[in-house]
Structure 1
Amino acid sequence: MSEAYHGEFSGVDKIPGREPKDKDVNMYTNMRNLISLSKNAPPDPPPLCSVCQHKAPAFGKPPRAFSYAELGQATDEFSQANFLAEGGYGSVHRGVLPDGQVIAVKQHKLASSQGDREFSSEVQVLSCAQHRNVVMLIGYCVEDQWRLLVYEFICNGSLDSHLYGHSHDPLDWSSRRKIAIGASRGLRYLHEECRVGCIVHRDLRPNNILLTHEFEALVGDFGLARWQPDGDLGMETRIIGTFGYLAPEYVQSGQVTEKADVYSFGVVLMELVTGRKAIDITRPKGQQCLTEWSRPLLKESAVSKLVDPRLGDCYSEQEVQDMLRCASLCLQQDPHARPRMSQVLRMLEGDIFME
């Protein structure tokens, strides 16, 4: 997101040919005060997407508490016309706040111990995480049995709908690369730059990467996320996440570190290059699991066999090779051998080369 523009104001000149009267002096003083206030006031952030021009939320504000009535009014009482998606957690509706802010309201199903844990996790994590490539939490609602989260509205859906849906044209290579770089920036921030320490997403996949019409990627859905203090392996007895994206050490031992996200991101990179789903039971035996099918081809650097045929010849072979090399490193069995997300980003941008 580009830096906000700060306008410049000139002083008020005296009118030639006469001395100012008292009321003129007062007028000039008031105008100078207004100008001073304008300079000191925080600028409005630029819109998230230049196509939609939706108002972007301001950074630095903590999530606010909404009433259920406020969110009902914003979404036209959660009407079908504003319905966006349905998942295991509940439903998502589009809405508009009185100040013009367009929002997505995620309504959790009736309260349960598991649902409350995921709800609390998402509020706690996103209260501390604000970055241009992370979906911003604007607020929440806890009222009677209702549990709702209020996000900035991301206008162009999720990555999976563009890779595998039938309502969009196939993504071109430059858009795929831009999405990979944007998502890696979001993960780098969560792992290495967030003020509260490392946050592990634990469910990174195309469904949870949201896009603007300019294909700026934002990492979203933090229901399974957890803080990861330095040196904490974060052992889990119950394996949660999405099959096809789970790191082997997590499946085998329940060990959770940020390197599990790096593995999942490697799978996403393979999906961006190949146009194949992580798990696709409609494909022939031996091709249903993307990582298993692609592993020998990655060793051979068989770009022509790996690249999405829908791209034709319209891609940079060097950029594809860079992304495949990056994916191969992310997918290593040993978590300690996987790169950090800051290294992943630099590889995708072509700044460094790693064997």
Structure 2
Amino acid sequence: MDSAYETLIHKVSKLDQEPGIGLLHRKIDANLSKSVREAISLSRNAPAGPPPLCSICQHKTPSFGNPPRWFTFAELQLATGGFSQANFLAEGGFGSVHRGVLPDGQVIAVKQYKLASTQGDKEFCSEVEVLSCAQHRNVVMLIGFCVEDGRRLLVYEYICNGSLDSHLYGRNRNVLEWSARQKIAVGAARGLRYLHEECRVGCIVHRDMRPNNILLTHDFEALVGDFGLARWQPDGDMGVETRVIGTFGYLAPEYAQSGQITEKADVYSFGVVLLELVTGWKAVDINRPRGQQCLTEWARPLLERDAIDELVDPSLKNCYMDREVRRMMQCCSLCIQRDPHFRPRMSQVLRMLEGDILM
């Protein structure tokens, strides 16, 4: 994979030569001013840097528009305290993630891949390529990377409040209030809309949209993360993958059956995430009774009947906005259509969640 790394480094280095890179691909939402992560004014009175991502943690937010930086392994060792257990965040099939702090005070998350493998190399290169060209307030920002002596590490901005998965299903979780669920759905939808429809390099298909890959601040701002399986999707391309990659329970039927991948596969997966937000159920749970183990199959007839009382998470104890729940249920129903042509685009999903489209 040496040639692949050389190609990757060449592509990333070219970003330094592109004027105004941040301004070209930072899309500004109409409601941006309502978010903690606001657009930076270009006026003379602009602040020295972007506001903190989380109003509680007040961690420094990396500036948009900078290409990813090449770190040395020694720099990342220093930042993470030698990848100490005290800074350990998570571990998965890819490797481990540690918290760190750079000399300028920037708090980071460092993903260290396991020993080199063909699949690991592909995922590493994919993530660097995608995130080098995709910067949005609802997409986790790649600050830099390290390729040194067989080691491969990615450096992200640190998102302080874990994943959506931990808030829905973690052992010591508190009940996730409906207002937080609604805000998370809207934030994640904005991130996916950007990837599909607004990124300057064209459509990016995430291919692994699920609660583990939606990271949260203490303000419940949602950021889409983990782009190891992402791929470019030229307009009209229905490329067939040699093998289906993703997470069971979130795979769109057409992708699982034939390997055909378009952005509508992400829409399906996002519909499953919305169902999880409404019901509090996992996408797949073998501990549930027969007929209820697959969330989408159990929920489809209930969505058709608009059976809100049977679908809504009982832990909410009726503390929710009825119209918002019904809107989210309608989005679920449309997103998990078996035929991808009947699924909405993410811009339409976002407008439905925000109540801009009457259904």
Do Structure 1 and Structure 2 share a fold, with TM-score over 0.5?
yes
Match of 2:52 in 1: 47
Q: Please, which of 31, 56, 61 is the counterpart of residue 56 of structure 1? A: 61
Please give the alpha-carbon distance, in whole angstroms, between the structure 2 residues aligned to 1:137 and 1:176. 25
Match of 1:234 in 2: 239
User: Does residue 2 in structure 1 map to residue 7 in structure 2?
Assistant: no
Q: Please, which of 85, 88, 91 is the counterpart of residue 96 of structure 2? A: 91
Q: CA-to-partner distance for each residue in 1:181-223, whole Å, 9 max, x for gaps?
A: 0000000000000000000000000000000000000000000
Match of 2:19 in 1: none
Q: For residues 136-285 of structure 1, what are the structure 2 equivalents within 5 Å?
A: 136-285=141-290
Q: Please, which of 72, 78, 86 is the counterpart of residue 81 of structure 1? A: 86
Q: For residues 256-335 of structure 1, what are the structure 2 equivalents within 5 Å?
A: 256-335=261-340
Tell whether the 8 Å contact from 1:5 to 1:43 is kept in structure 2 after alignment: no
Match of 1:17 in 2: none
Q: CA-to-partner distance for each residue in 1:11-44, whole Å, 9 max, x for gaps?
A: xxxxxxxxxxxxxxxxxxxxxxxxxxxx498730
Aligned identity (percent) is 77
How many equivalent pairs are there?
323
Q: TM-score, normalised by structure 2?
A: 0.88
Tell me by how many angstroms 1:2 deviates.
2.1
Q: Please, which of 67, 71, 75 is the counterpart of residue 76 of structure 2? A: 71
Residues 1:91 and 1:40: Cα distance change in structure 2 (over 3 Å): same
Match of 2:16 in 1: none
Match of 1:32 in 2: none
Please give the alpha-carbon distance, in whole angstroms, between the structure 2 residues aligned to 1:48 and 1:292. 37
Tell whether the 8 Å contact from 1:6 to 1:43 is kept in structure 2 after alignment: no
- Of structures 1 and 2, the larger Rg is shown by 1
Residues 1:44 and 1:305: Cα distance change in structure 2 (over 3 Å): same
SS at match of 1:140: strand
Match of 1:34 in 2: none
Q: CA-to-partner distance for each residue in 1:268-289, whole Å, 9 max, x for gaps?
A: 0000000000001111111111
Q: CA-to-partner distance for each residue in 1:273-310, whole Å, 9 max, x for gaps?
A: 00000001111111111001101111111000000000
Q: CA-to-partner distance for each residue in 1:230-252, whole Å, 9 max, x for gaps?
A: 01112112011000000000011
SS at match of 1:104: strand
Runs of 5+ consecutive residues of structure 1 not aligned to the other structure: 8-38
Q: TM-score, normalised by structure 1?
A: 0.89
SS at match of 2:62: coil
Tell me by how many angstroms 1:168 deviates.
2.2
Please give the alpha-carbon distance, in whole angstroms, between the structure 1 residues aligned to 2:230 and 2:40. 31
